[in-house]
Amino acid sequence: MNQFIDIHPKVLDALRSGKPVVALESTVIAHGMPYPKNVETALNVEKIVEQSGATPATIAIIDGRIKVGLNPNELTTLGKQSNVLKVSKRDIPYCVIKKYSGATTVSATILIADMVGIKVFATGGIGGVHKHAAATFDISRDLEEISEKQIAVVSAGAKAILDLNLTLEYLETKGVEVIGYQTSEFPAFFSNVSGLNTTYQLDEASQIAQLMYTKWSMGLSGGILVANPIPQHYAIDKASLDKAISSAILSAKENNITGKELTPYLLKVLHSNKDITSLESNIGLIYNNAKIAALIAVEFSKL
């Protein structure tokens, strides 16, 4: 893979010496937030990971090169450009041969992190089964990659725009443990209230690291989803959030927005909704996930 991937020297040193590394996605930089808030947030996330004892590895494609770890200039350029591709598994080879720049989704970030041996990944919220998926077959690739790769994904549950019940059913079918970090209720991204249960609850980063080590030492394939609730002071009232989501979905339907354009469109509509503070909530949960992911990576490196 060396002919396609550039690993940042700090990340490479950490991987070779068995030090903790946390993978970070880049879609949130290019497609999840407006500039310059996106770049500011991405830089802060990397600082949080470092301050918590791990090495951050933001993953993206820059001018056709797969990058595991970005320097500040690359990260800023990614946040400024308007023509950055949203890259999932199927888009990676095309983006590389065309020498385009691409922001990796959760699934693509997991895939690339697994290629280089990173075992912990922090994101905002994973994709999942969309509402009305029985008719549309709209199911995120994220679920497949989590089920196939040996990686722990720390997120605030799944994005609230999804059908959370069906998302959990899908993960159960794929044999993915959904571990609630200090909670037994599956968080709904901006809200901690879903009425749905996690598979198990674990309260310490060391316990999650032990679970990772034990599962993979047994030869059991696949990843682990760590559901880390959004800090309560950033959480959005569920009734207000449900109302805003319904309005955003209706807007997407009226504008014929589908496929991989749907999620960024819905998030953009939510961010512009004055009745909820979704952008600040989004940033708050991303910071929290980065910290917990780093703590888990530190504990796992000890094993």
Q: Is 131 a catalytic site residue?
A: no
**DSSP for residue 292:** H
Residue 202 tokens read as: 């674990």
Helix (H) / strand (E) element for 217: namely helix 205-217
Q: Is 159 a catalytic site residue?
A: yes
Residue 56 bridge partners (DSSP): 22
Q: Angle at Cα 21 formed by Cα 15 and Cα 27, nearest 5°?
A: 120
* DSSP E strand boundaries for the chain: 5-7, 21-24, 55-62, 65-68, 85-87, 102-104, 120-122, 152-155, 177-181, 200-202, 224-227
Asked if 42 and 286 count as a contact pair (C-beta separation under 8 A), the reply is no
Say if strands 65-68 and 55-62 run parallel, antiparallel, or are unpaired: antiparallel
Helix 238-254 with 262-271: angle, nearest 10 deg: 130
Of residues 25, 46, 145, 299, which has the active-site annotation? 25
Q: Which of 182, 192, 108 is nearest to 151 (CA)?
A: 108
Residues near 49 by beta carbon (within 8 Å), at least 6 away in sequence: 22, 24, 55, 56, 122, 290, 291, 293, 294
Of residues 67, 119, 149, 159, which has the active-site annotation? 159
| Length of the chain, in residues | 303
Q: Angle at Cα 293 formed by Cα 114 and Cα 38, nearest 5°?
A: 90
Residue 125 bridge partners (DSSP): none
Active-site residues, by number, are 25, 159
